[in-house]
Amino acid sequence: MNKYEIIKRIENFAPCESAETWDCSGFIAETGRQEVSKIMLCLTPTEEVINQAIAQNCDMIISHHPMFYLKLDSVLLTESFKPRIDMYCAHTNMDKADGGTTDTLIKVLGLENYKKTVEHDFLRMIELPAPEQPEIFAGRLKTVSPDLRYVNNKNIAKVSKVMFCAGSGADFIEEAQKLGGDCLVTGDLKFHTALDSGIVVFDIGHFESEILILPVFASIIGKGVEIVFAKEKSPFIKL
């Protein structure tokens, strides 16, 4: 299958021009190959993932995250400094897309049919049919993140307008509150950010909130090419 047809399908779903200006969505590395027969999907293109793709004779890697802090000459380049595998990522454009990372998280949690009251570039708000105690709502979230943690500085008794941002959305706490949310579901919550929060914030983990998008990539790509999933896990060790 022509790799540009594959990219066209992804960008029809999540236009590359919608990515943030600081983002690196698009081709990470590109060979002169036009046709690909086997693609590895991953959340993060680490050295280990690239080695998996090469070992499994994949022609291409499609990831959600761009490449972070990986020396190109470690695994990606041949001795003649030419890319040995095509690599493409859809990052913030996939976060913003209708049906993207955050919408997928909501769907997996079984909340997609609840009233959606606000839509934002990164934030989504779901209005629950009836208010729930934070610890009860946390039980829903444990289906995707058994080791979640949350803060409730204001001792909020019930939540009903739930903001979601898959990945690192802790910077949106104030914005979520201004938009009417009484809690935020996201990942990568830091100490001082948690300490200052005026709403309930559930930290379900960056990995756990975004790994769910890989089957969506597979569905977008469709038939005509073999798809394999990288073996990945959260870098945090559970005790």
Q: Supply the pLDDT for residue 87.
A: 94
The region, left, alpha or beta by phi > 0 then psi within -120 to 50, assigned to residue 130 is beta
- Give the pLDDT confidence of 12-71 residue by residue, as tens digits: 999 999 999 999 899 988 888 999 999 999 999 998 999 999 999 999 999 999 987 555
**Mean pLDDT across the chain:** 92
Token representation of residue 125: 């708000």
| Cα four-point dihedral sign 13, 67, 173, 206 | positive
pTM score above 0.85: yes
Residue 118 — pLDDT band, cuts 50, 70, 90?
confident
* DSSP structure string for 99-162: TSHHHHHHHHTT-TTSEEEEE-SS-EEEEEEEEE-HHHHHHHHTTT-TT-EEE-TT----EEEE
Q: Which residues contact 217 (CB under 8 A, 6 or more apart)?
A: 10, 41, 62, 64, 90
All domains of the chain in start order, with CATH: 3-95 (3.40.1390.30), 101-207 (3.40.1390.30)
Q: Supply the pLDDT for residue 239.
A: 78
Helix (H) or strand (E) holding 195: helix 191-196
CB 85 within 8 A of CB 39: no
Q: Which residues contact 237 (CB under 8 A, 6 or more apart)?
A: none
How wide is the angle at C-alpha 95 spanned by C-alphas 221 and 69, nearest 5°?
90
